[in-house]
Structure 1
Amino acid sequence: MAVLERTPVVLIAGFAGRATQGVDHLAAALRQAAGTVVVRHELSELREGIVRRTVWQDGRESTEVLELAHGCVSCTLRADLLPLLCKLSARDSVDRIVLALDPAFEAEAVCQAIEGVVVAGIVGRVDGPAGRDVRVEAVLTCLDTQTWLADATGDETLAERGLAAADDDRTVAQVAVGQVDFADALVALGPAVDALDQARLAEVLARLVPDAPVCWSEDLATVGTAEIEKLLARIPAGSRRGRIFDAHAPLLRGQPPLGTEHGVTLIEFAASRPFHPERLHEALDVLFEGVVTARGRMWLATQPGEVVWLESAGGGLRVGGAGRWLAAMPADEVAQADPARRALAALRWDDTFGDRDISLVILAHDADPADIRHALHWALVEDDELRLVERAPERVAQWEDPFGEWHQDPCADSESAPAQPNSQRGEGK
């Protein structure tokens, strides 16, 4: 029985200003290619339940106004975008689908939905994810060279910028960093900035997405169909291409530079003893100045069974749950864990604490790595406290824990109001 080829999908993303102009320009250029269909959902009226969907193919443009019972991004995905991908993939005239994403759409969420959300009710098609019919060929992200680094290191919320949809409490930095971190290729747009600033931006990108080719352009007019196709062709075979990594995946992807250039450096922090929760809470302030992003797995002395995930962007930070340590699982649950995770844990297994450890990666652009390492080392339990962790966990459980039900920063008040637990990877402000 012949295996049907899945239709490739290219997602184009960009956050506000020049970057969103870039999304429109690149989509217009790619739709000139034969067999390419470009789809855009305009979500500016989403709160009123209105979505405008435009499809371009073979020089023809069609726009349809969709009225949704619930005006939200998730409903737009489920009710229209995913079924549309399945229908387009079935057409012989469609060789490639390009999604020009509205800023309210996150490429990562779209890719996750393609692989995981069941599409039902299409005549002649067995119900199942759109990923059976299409595959993500590339995520192409546009960024503004003059504003991206400031956005990625600030603490302004989307609401404060006037860009938030209903119930969206994310920060500008989370969106700016997240879009670039998920990209397979980048288009950096804007007139020449200060030489040092541009060099610093280049070094940040080289560490955040080391495998992603970058097209630098001062003028969108110089970026045509041929240039975009060449950029897509430069994406390495092993690039991410829409894959979703969980909290136990390697923290360093690709081969990023490990040295310091123009003040930009990747800081790796590892420890085989847990953090003291109160000292960690105080030490985390070191991640809010001169740091683009930090992420990793943590072991808290007061939560010996839980893998705690930390993720920051600019001035916002979120801590959430990432499941349990293998050492805290029953044997049948360990047997079902990812084999790669079990293999890595076996290499560093401790007779007392099992696979529990701390592993963080911090991308700094204007901070002293020694200060960050010093603060995090200070937050680790001392020798006498470690003995309590081993011999009297019931006493350790009584310690004050600002992360009792996870945490977000900046704190809601001086008493460190707890946040609700997140999914595998803590997100949101």
Structure 2
Amino acid sequence: MDGRTPLVLVSGWTGAMDDVVTSLLSDGTVAVRHDLSRVYEGVVRRTILAPGEAPRETILELAHGCVSCTLREDLLPLLRKLAHRSSVNRIVLAMDPALEPEALCWAVENVIVAGVVGQVDGSASRDVSITAVVDCLDAATWLTDATGDDALADRGIVASGDDDRTVAQVVVGQVDYADALVVSAGPDVGGWERAKLAAVLSRLAPGAPVAWVGPGDVLDIEALIAAVPFDARRGEVTDAHSPLLRGQPPLTADCGVTLVEFAADRPFHPERLHEAIDVLLDGVVSARGRAWVATQPDEALWIESAGGGLRVASAGKWLAAMAPQEQDRVDTSRRAMAALRWDETFGDRDTSLVVLVHAADPSEIDRTLRWALVSDDEMNDRDAWAQWNDPFGQWHEDPCETSESPYQDTRREAQE
């Protein structure tokens, strides 16, 4: 039996966060909230809530001028201390809207907390166990936010001086990582809008139970958490080579919403991919996956979009580019999946993307991405690959020169 103290994370951009946190404050439950709204003043406000007690507020100075450092240096030791109190049998973490649960879950599992009196140095996961991540959203605004271009700074929300994330990246990431969803749906949300949002949510967070809460409705948050399936993520942090269709989402279209799977066993031409990649930003809620680019034979690229925001980063080495001792340290499930599709020449190198569309033509996406692949003639001249210009190099910046893909009439500036 797991003797650790249960930890519930509550995230959200708008919606019923306060109601959810209040509903969870039963006897033995304590809630912690960090407010970043005064970050430009150099402070973070921390509030601790417990049933029958007045809120306890503490003003924290920014450690090293860094919000994430402040939260880690305050939150993680606090979680360990609260978990050791006999009066606490559950902790609720009410997250600031600018924070994403995946990063905090990673910190709980991996960041070493040292110097806590009476406790062995180690991560907070020694003392707390993440039992659910609950995300709260507003049906009237979420899809607009999730498919827009606004930066957090445009809404007056910035978690650090160099925070260039978009609203879409935050709200999509919060839903994608959730084990359960609470959707506030007022009378201004019509049947079509509700059905379309439900179709998006069932594909972005498959398996997550959803509570639709209207005016006057009573939310049974305990029943919602109890409905979280046994195989839910519960704070698990996956890597770029984990399955992309986690939770078996619906693969059929509904209200114009569908998942597009794109796979290829040949690499992308880097410049054509750069021209084609905007197809992931129009009429698309999100896209994510691994890409094989001809000019980067050793490392996979991770491509992730949400609304008008795009991120391209390293996804680590391909197994075929690793030494045997490196391969031995790789998760066995990844090695097993790679063995099923291993190519004698290229090993496990391939491309696998999943695109969630709500107002785009799936065939156009597939056609545009296939146009960006290396042609048969180029496949036969692999010595030339290293000489090609690579816009996805480490120092790639936007804006950059634009050119037209044959399958796109317009381009949009991507936030990379």
TM norm structure 2: 0.93
Structure 1 position 276 matched with structure 2 position 249: no
C-alpha contact 1:49 1:72 (8 A) present in aligned 2: no
Alpha-carbon separation, structure 2, partners of 1:301 and 1:406: 18
TM superposition shift of 1:402? 1.1
Alpha-carbon separation, structure 2, partners of 1:404 and 1:240: 33
Alignment deviations for residues 88-145 of structure 1 (CA, whole Å, 9 cap, x no partner): 1001111100111111322111111101111111111011100000011101000010
Alignment deviations for residues 384-429 of structure 1 (CA, whole Å, 9 cap, x no partner): 111112xx2xx21111211122757xx323279xxxxxxxxxxx85
Aligned to 2:186: 191
Alpha-carbon separation, structure 2, partners of 1:64 and 1:377: 55
Alpha-carbon separation, structure 1, partners of 2:328 and 2:82: 40
TM superposition shift of 1:222? 2.3
Other structure's SS at 2:380 match: helix
TM superposition shift of 1:199? 0.9
Alpha-carbon separation, structure 1, partners of 2:368 and 2:63: 50
Say what the alpha-carbon RMSD is for the aligned residues.
1.6
Other structure's SS at 1:346 match: helix
Alpha-carbon separation, structure 1, partners of 2:309 and 2:391: 16
TM superposition shift of 1:284? 1.1
Other structure's SS at 2:103 match: helix
Alpha-carbon separation, structure 2, partners of 1:407 and 1:137: 40
TM norm structure 1: 0.90
TM superposition shift of 1:71? 4.1
C-alpha contact 1:73 1:105 (8 A) present in aligned 2: no
Which of 168, 173, 183 does residue 173 from structure 1 map onto? Answer: 168
Q: Given the superposition, is the C-alpha separation of residues 67 and 405 from structure 1 closer, same or farther in structure 2, using an over 3 Å criterion?
A: closer
Alpha-carbon separation, structure 2, partners of 1:406 and 1:138: 38
Which blocks of at least 5 consecutive residues in structure 2 are unaligned? 404-414
Alpha-carbon separation, structure 2, partners of 1:272 and 1:68: 48
Alpha-carbon separation, structure 1, partners of 2:185 and 2:157: 21
Other structure's SS at 1:261 match: coil
Structure 1 position 14 matched with structure 2 position 8: no
Aligned to 2:410: none
Other structure's SS at 1:70 match: helix
Identity of aligned residues (%): 60
TM superposition shift of 1:200? 0.9
C-alpha contact 1:293 1:362 (8 A) present in aligned 2: yes
Aligned to 1:373: 366
Alignment deviations for residues 224-279 of structure 1 (CA, whole Å, 9 cap, x no partner): 4xx00010010001101011110000000111110111110001111111111111
Other structure's SS at 2:64 match: coil
Alpha-carbon separation, structure 2, partners of 1:407 and 1:11: 35
Aligned to 1:103: 97
C-alpha contact 1:54 1:64 (8 A) present in aligned 2: yes
Aligned to 1:402: 391
Count, aligned residues: 402
Which blocks of at least 5 consecutive residues in structure 1 are unaligned? 417-427
Structure 1 position 414 matched with structure 2 position 401: yes
Structure 1 position 23 matched with structure 2 position 42: no
C-alpha contact 2:290 2:303 (8 A) present in aligned 1: yes
Aligned to 1:241: 234
257-266 vs 61-70, which moves further? 61-70
